[in-house]
């Protein structure tokens, strides 16, 4: 059986990309995606995965997301493969043509649901009007295309509950796999390490503010951002507030870091090492204090 994984776009390093490429390697699937960047794939060690790039998008949000949705909607691989897996949010717009299929959902579109108001607060009036129109139209399509999904899998119980609220569809939870042989504890350094994409949802600004109140402590943030997803302004803001206690490495070269994540792949890797302060039982989670978005 020939399997194809359709992914939104592949021009940045992230947990979703690593999960998708790992899955492709393990089950022998091909990948079809937009904005295919061979250097990104090589940097993650997936040169052995067959990847088909079938177009490019824009660098400007939300044109990037709109173009991605349209090009995936136009794509048709139904005569070439027997089974289809959707990775991300925009790739599944071709689900009507591709059966049987499965959607591995990392989260419903945050800009449409969870983070809609937070994003609106950062926009001026013309931008807000355009954003509202886009969300109203595109979110309606987002919900309607769920009916073409044959099987829904989510990456955590949290996302299972979120997709149930948004789409009124239940799912199976399959946690992302972690290759523990690639990671080992060497030594503790003289800084605190935070690994995440430089997105507002990761609350890196809150981390910076917290470390500003701890003289003598050093925070190193490792991550990157994707052009065309509202993150450039946030990165500039972080650079302005970093001061002398915060350093940035946008090459994504370090793999162990913070635990504040939907799934926590970085904390999962660290936990697998039984070192680094992340030893805990994933079946028991102690809830922390909720920090207001305005913090």
pLDDT band at 268 (very low <50, low <70, confident <90, very high): low
Q: Which CATH number fits domain 180-272: 3.40.50.2000, 1.10.3210.10, 3.10.180.10, 1.10.540.10?
A: 3.40.50.2000
Task: Calculate mean pLDDT across residues 164-186.
Answer: 88
Residue 261 pLDDT exceeds 90: no
- Predicted local confidence at residue 279, as pLDDT: 44
pLDDT band at 185 (very low <50, low <70, confident <90, very high): confident
Task: Calculate mean pLDDT across residues 186-206.
Answer: 79
CATH of span 3-173: 3.40.50
Helix ranges (DSSP H) in 145-272: 157-167, 204-212, 232-241, 265-272
CATH 3.40.50.2000 location in the chain? 180-272
pLDDT band at 254 (very low <50, low <70, confident <90, very high): very low
Q: How far apart are CA 227 and CA 59, in angstroms?
A: 5
- For 3-36, the pLDDT digits (tens) are 999 999 999 878 899 999 999 999 999 999 999 9
Give the containing element (helix H, strand E) for 85. strand 83-87
Residue 216 pLDDT exceeds 70: yes
- Alpha carbon 34 to its chain's center: 16
- Predicted local confidence at residue 181, as pLDDT: 79
Prediction pTM value: 0.73
Q: How far apart are CA 189 and CA 281, in angstroms?
A: 25
- Predicted local confidence at residue 222, as pLDDT: 76
Among 107-111, 124-128, 192-196, where is mean pLDDT lowest?
192-196
Q: Check: CB of residue 27 under 8 Å from CB of residue 54.
A: no
Residue 206 pLDDT exceeds 90: no
């Amino acid at each position: 059986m020939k399997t194809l994984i359709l992914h939104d776009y592949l021009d940045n390093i992230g947990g979703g990309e690593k999960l998708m490429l790992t899955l492709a390697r393990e089950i022998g699937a091909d990948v079809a995606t937009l904005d295919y960047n061979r250097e990104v794939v090589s940097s993650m060690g997936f040169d052995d995965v067959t990847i088909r790039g079938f177009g490019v998008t824009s660098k400007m949000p939300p044109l990037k997301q709109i173009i991605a949705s349209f090009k995936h909607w136009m794509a048709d691989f139904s005569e070439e493969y027997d089974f289809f897996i959707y990775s991300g949010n925009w790739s599944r717009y071709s689900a009507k043509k591709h059966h049987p299929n499965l959607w591995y959902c990392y989260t419903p579109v945050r800009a449409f649901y969870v983070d809609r108001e937070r994003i609106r607060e950062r926009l001026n009036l013309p931008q807000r009007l355009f954003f509202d129109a886009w969300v109203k139209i595109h979110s309606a399509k987002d919900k309607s295309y769920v009916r073409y999904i044959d099987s829904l899998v989510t990456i955590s119980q949290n996302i299972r509950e979120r997709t149930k609220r948004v789409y009124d569809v239940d799912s199976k939870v399959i946690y992302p796999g972690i290759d523990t042989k690639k990671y080992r504890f060497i030594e503790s350094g003289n800084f605190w390490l935070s690994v995440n994409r430089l997105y507002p949802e990761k609350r890196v600004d809150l981390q910076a503010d917290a470390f500003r109140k701890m003289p003598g402590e050093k925070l190193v943030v490792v991550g990157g951002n994707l052009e065309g997803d509202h993150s450039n302004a946030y990165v500039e803001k972080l650079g302005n507030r970093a001061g002398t206690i915060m350093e940035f490495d946008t090459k994504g070269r370090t793999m162990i870091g913070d635990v504040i994540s939907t799934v926590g792949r970085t904390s999962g890797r660290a936990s697998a090492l039984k070192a680094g302060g992340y030893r805990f039982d994933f079946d028991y989670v102690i809830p922390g204090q909720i920090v207001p978005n305005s913090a």
